[in-house]
Structure 1
Amino acid sequence: MDILIKAGQLLLSLSILVILHEFGHFFFAKLFKTRVEKFYLFFDPWFSLFKVKKGDTEYGIGWLPLGGYVKISGMIDESMDKEAMKEEPKSYEFRSKPAYQRLLIMIGGVLVNFLLAFFIFWMTLYKWGDSYIDVADAKFGLTYHELAHDIGLQDGDVVTSVDTLKVKSASDIAKFILLEEAQQLSVKRGDSTFTVAIPSDFKTTILKEEVKGLAAIRMPFVVDSVIAGDYAEKAGFKKGDKVISIDGQDAEYYRQVTNILGENKEKRVTFNIIRNGQTESLRCEVSKKGKIGVGAKVDYFDITEVRYGFWEAMPAGVSKSVNTLIDYVKQLKLVFTKEGAKQIGGFGAIGGLFPATWNWEAFWGLTGFLSIILAFMNILPIPALDGGHVLFLLYEIISGRKPSDKFLEYAQTVGMILLLGLLLFANGNDLFRLFK
């Protein structure tokens, strides 16, 4: 069921993004009286699931969910309609329009995706605001991955800044280390403050080990709810039980408990708990997912909430859009390393970003994020992408010479091969991680 919910959110999100992206091309094409032969959600090699023709345009849904397209008359695109290009140009064709009009048609999709991301962030900030647990309010400190322990951090420490960048939430630590050329951490331990040097190869090690969470808020593991009929109820767990150890290993805090349970899937373990001031032992089975069927108490901290009025949320939405784009661009340099290339993911990785339960706040936040990615990736100067067409159009505007149709055909073919290779590589990584 979890997979179906994630897949459903991914499919809806991508459908919204693709339809609006293609509408951007469609809008400018119609504005400049350019004929659009097809407007499709998903690709339709050999057959389509649905189609209807209105005016000159066939609207439809394909069966191959790898994107979508608009087929514009007189344009060399993924359809590779070479026969049509041999005929004399017609007034309604793309190739007959002035260069500036063709340029606006090509950037229409990217423009819509950027505007969509801004609008989504504006509306989500207005509706839900922003909330996080400030590390300054983490009364039990933070808990760290073993790699962080190796450079001198201890569970309970609080990293207050990375170089001169102030840390607000625990997730900032890994982000600043990976995206900035950080040299040291400022750390608070008890009443003392000191610095920890970041090794030059630390960023590479994080990527190589595929660390998902370098730091997290530390909190005691206290049972808040017990799922009826699950292993925990059968073992005798009750609300208010505080875990202190599992099979003799210290497990007072949430991350310790989840790590130990993850190492003992489909096994029976012994919990030492404190109940009403008394220590008791409970034997409990662990599911194949590393769960026992309890919900842990999480309301230990003051949550920093930022609320926005309707108009206040607008500049905040712009800022979030710009910062999201900047962070994404900074991440690209990691892709060109051996370790970073292994992190590239396809549809499985993207689907894994969505929560296992339907959550509109998370859904729209991720859709805004994906809209930024789709816009940026499409504007890259790669043949077969919008950015490739834009590159050739800019060359034409500057030089006054239009690239030949034969050159554009070859460029389109090379670009499609590159994109297909990247698609196979990214989804191959997903399969490798799945079987691994």
Structure 2
Amino acid sequence: MSGLWVQIAQFFVALSLLIVLHEGGHFFFARLFKTRVEKFYLFFDFLFPFSNVLPFSLWKKKKGDTEYGIGWFPLGGYVKIAGMVDESMDKEQMAKPPEPWEFRSKKPWQRLLIMLGGIIVNILTAFLIYAMILFVWGEKKLPMSELRNGIEVADSLAYQLGFKDGDIIKKVNSEDLVYYNDLMPKMLYAQTVTVSRSGKDTTFGLPVNFVEQLVDNKSKMLFAVPFPAAIKEVTPDKNAAKAGLLAQDKILSVAGTPTHTVIEFKKALQLHKGNIVPISVERKGTITSLNTAIAADGTIGIELNLPSNNEELAKMSNLKMEVKKYGFFEAIPAGMVMAKNKIGDYLGQFKLIFNPKTGAYKGVGGFDSMRKIFPEEWHWQSFWNITAFISLALAIMNLLPIPGLDGGYVMFTLWEMITGRKPNEKFLEIVTTIGLVLLLILMVAVNANDILKYFK
């Protein structure tokens, strides 16, 4: 299976799981307060948000008062709670007198919990996933103190910002940078960076639209941990194979220029493209020099051995990872702290997006952007880590006070609890319709942004 399909599969599984859990939260509290749930659907069985357009399901089964099913329109899911103005816009039912088992007959605090149920479950899901990640895999971090030779610049944007190869990054926004893992997350909010360069500390500022430049430059990684250039595979009939280079060879120099790292090796190839030069390699403890033709595009026909995670990176570069193991009961509070920190990170990204000066709004994307955050190989720790973060993102998004989202219903219920006045049902129908249309426009806009990125 190709990397693209692996990403799609992971995204589909994660999203489906989180939708079922979110709607299950509403379902649980509705049943707890003896409220009838007429439908429980993964995906929509209509063209969202128009409940009467193309109404059909891929699968459904009635059990008790509830119809369980899978819809055809994969933009979310829903539970249809009797006596509630929701996506189904069932005006016939709302025109009848309220029944004891309907949502509108319940006390305000009960309705509030029913509407918060999905958000509560999303947060609990993330906390439990993080706790189990720490319990099963522990916490692995690469201390900056291990990078004695500093970082390598992996993107031209980093050079433009003022970074140089060999910089030892010490502080971001006057805060000590202890772990390499925290470098890029902290850089998103960076205003100043302090590096040690040639034994001296240098502090320089970053532009306010740094995130916009990241997006426009399509930069995935500004920095790299230096690691050696070792050949994973030699392409048959290409220049490297003709020269006698073999898999597992460790490349030491190109045309006499030492290439201790992958980036140095690639730079050397670019300097000598179109020429035949000696490439020195270490093979089973013996150093061999082989005259190799470098193609006009700066390649020789090899695949390099690249680390797939931080552990492999540390091993290849002879760096010591800091590993912390958690017992089951230790992992529970640590998972809560991890979830809390991730919520803070997500809210920080929201702040960037809503500040036009940062240009971060350009990076907002839809389903394709979410798909891309999954690795191209199925890696369980990464899968659960990303799933937990998406779960928190869904919780925060659903808490926004927009009619049609859980937060909209929460807002009106809180208003009722504070003022003692229940909003008019006709008013709720109108604002819910407006909210659903706005949500549709927003979904179209963010997914259109994904499409535009391909053309750019």
TM-score, normalization by structure 2: 0.86
* Structure 1 counterpart of 2:343: 325
What CA distance in whole angstroms lies between the structure 1 residues aligned with 2:337 and 2:433? 38
What CA distance in whole angstroms lies between the structure 1 residues aligned with 2:217 and 2:435? 32
Give the C-alpha shift of residue 47 in structure 1.
1.3
* Structure 1 counterpart of 2:180: 170
Tell me if structure 2 keeps the 8 A contact 1:222–1:243.
no
Match for residue 153 of structure 1 among 153, 156, 163: 163
* Structure 1 counterpart of 2:126: 117
Give the C-alpha shift of residue 195 in structure 1.
2.4
Tell me if structure 2 keeps the 8 A contact 1:156–1:218.
no
The answer to which of 144-153 and 327-336 deviates more is 144-153
What CA distance in whole angstroms lies between the structure 2 residues aligned with 1:280 and 1:428? 50
Tell me if structure 2 keeps the 8 A contact 1:186–1:193.
no
Rate the CA distance shift 1:59–1:100 in 2: closer, same or farther, 3 A: same
Rate the CA distance shift 1:54–1:202 in 2: closer, same or farther, 3 A: closer
Task: Give the residue type in structure 2 aligned to 1:68.
Answer: G
What CA distance in whole angstroms lies between the structure 1 residues aligned with 2:91 and 2:29? 24
Rate the CA distance shift 1:242–1:84 in 2: closer, same or farther, 3 A: same
Match for residue 373 of structure 1 among 368, 393, 398: 393
Match for residue 398 of structure 1 among 414, 418, 440: 418
* Structure 1 counterpart of 2:280: 274
* Structure 2 counterpart of 1:72: 81
* Structure 2 counterpart of 1:388: 408
Deviations 1:214-254 (A, max 9, x none): 2221223233x3267596874543213316449x9996532
Task: Give the residue type in structure 2 aligned to 1:58.
Answer: E
Structure 2 residue 260 is matched with structure 1 residue 217: no
Task: Give the residue type in structure 2 aligned to 1:160.
Answer: K
Rate the CA distance shift 1:132–1:5 in 2: closer, same or farther, 3 A: same
What CA distance in whole angstroms lies between the structure 2 residues aligned with 1:260 and 1:416? 56
Matched residue SS, 1:34: coil
| 1:166-315 mapped onto 2 (5 Å cutoff) | 166-179=176-189, 182=191, 184-190=192-198, 192-201=199-208, 203=210, 204-223=212-231, 225-226=232-233, 234-235=241-242, 236-238=244-246, 239-242=248-251, 244-245=253-254, 252-255=260-263, 273-275=279-281, 276-283=286-293, 292-296=302-306, 298=313, 299-300=316-317, 301-315=319-333
* Structure 1 counterpart of 2:380: 360
Tell me if structure 1 keeps the 8 A contact 2:126–2:388.
yes
The answer to which of 374-383 and 234-243 deviates more is 234-243
Structure 2 residue 365 is matched with structure 1 residue 345: yes
Runs of 4+ aligned structure 1 residues displaced above 4 Å come to: 227-233, 248-252, 256-262, 267-272, 284-287
The answer to which of 233-242 and 133-142 deviates more is 233-242
* Structure 1 counterpart of 2:452: 432
What CA distance in whole angstroms lies between the structure 1 residues aligned with 2:275 and 2:333? 52
* Structure 2 counterpart of 1:34: 35
Rate the CA distance shift 1:233–1:130 in 2: closer, same or farther, 3 A: farther
Unaligned 5+ segments in structure 1 are: none
* Structure 2 counterpart of 1:25: 26
What CA distance in whole angstroms lies between the structure 2 residues aligned with 1:393 and 1:178? 36
Give the C-alpha shift of residue 200 in structure 1.
4.0
Rate the CA distance shift 1:414–1:230 in 2: closer, same or farther, 3 A: farther
Tell me if structure 2 keeps the 8 A contact 1:245–1:252.
no
Superposed CA RMSD: 3.0
Task: Give the residue type in structure 2 aligned to 1:417.
Answer: V
Matched residue SS, 1:179: coil
* Structure 2 counterpart of 1:411: 431
Match for residue 54 of structure 1 among 50, 63, 66: 63
Rate the CA distance shift 1:202–1:53 in 2: closer, same or farther, 3 A: closer
What CA distance in whole angstroms lies between the structure 2 residues aligned with 1:103 and 1:231? 66
Give the C-alpha shift of residue 130 in structure 1.
1.4
Tell me if structure 2 keeps the 8 A contact 1:220–1:254.
yes
Tell me if structure 2 keeps the 8 A contact 1:241–1:273.
no
Rate the CA distance shift 1:362–1:177 in 2: closer, same or farther, 3 A: closer
What CA distance in whole angstroms lies between the structure 2 residues aligned with 1:354 and 1:410? 39
What CA distance in whole angstroms lies between the structure 1 residues aligned with 2:296 and 2:34? 64
- Count residues in correspondence: 428
Tell me if structure 1 keeps the 8 A contact 2:239–2:301.
no
Percent of aligned pairs sharing the same letter:
41
Rate the CA distance shift 1:367–1:213 in 2: closer, same or farther, 3 A: same
Tell me if structure 1 keeps the 8 A contact 2:240–2:292.
no
What CA distance in whole angstroms lies between the structure 2 residues aligned with 1:76 and 1:290? 64
Rate the CA distance shift 1:425–1:245 in 2: closer, same or farther, 3 A: farther
Tell me if structure 2 keeps the 8 A contact 1:232–1:294.
no
Rate the CA distance shift 1:386–1:250 in 2: closer, same or farther, 3 A: farther
Rate the CA distance shift 1:334–1:314 in 2: closer, same or farther, 3 A: same
Tell me if structure 2 keeps the 8 A contact 1:328–1:373.
yes
Rate the CA distance shift 1:391–1:139 in 2: closer, same or farther, 3 A: same
Rate the CA distance shift 1:290–1:357 in 2: closer, same or farther, 3 A: farther
Tell me if structure 2 keeps the 8 A contact 1:142–1:156.
yes
The answer to which of 118-127 and 289-298 deviates more is 289-298
Tell me if structure 2 keeps the 8 A contact 1:142–1:170.
no
Tell me if structure 2 keeps the 8 A contact 1:148–1:214.
yes
The answer to which of 211-220 and 377-386 deviates more is 211-220
